[in-house]
Amino acid sequence: DLCGLTRGVAQEVDAAHVVAMGYSMGGFGVYQVAGHDSALFDAAIPIAGYGRGTREDGSHGFAADQPVAEEQLEDFLKAVGHRLARVAKLLVVHARNDDVSSFRDAEYIVDFVNGQGGGAELLE
């Protein structure tokens, strides 16, 4: 269990803070681990990250099979959104002109998390 290992190391070194940060697929991993164990992390920072699925259609180069991809994103957020809302600080870093990972999805994730009572911030 990655979160258990992280917790153990943090305790062993008497860490003042535990932060998850990752870029692109690593950003996806940040959503995964913070959504799994929100109490472990003082901050979670996905950079150009993404969730499972997308709201984008094929017109922007994402080649997403809609409505299936949007349903996958909804299911992903229903599974982890309420826990992401409990992360002390969720900073989502994303460029509006990103043509690989959807900025629109990043906005949607932030809005969803905040709708669950979170305090997520989107940084462009």
Show Cβ contacts of residue 34 under 8 Å, excluding neighbours closer than 6 positions: 20, 41, 44, 80, 83, 84, 87, 90
Q: Which residues of the chain have pLDDT under 50?
A: none
pLDDT of residue 35: 95
Question: Per this entry, what is the length of the chain?
Answer: 124
pLDDT of residue 112: 97
Taking the whole predicted model, whether its pTM rises above 0.75 is answered as yes
Residue 47 has a pLDDT of: 98
Q: Rounded to 5 degrees, what are φ and ψ at 120?
A: -65, 145
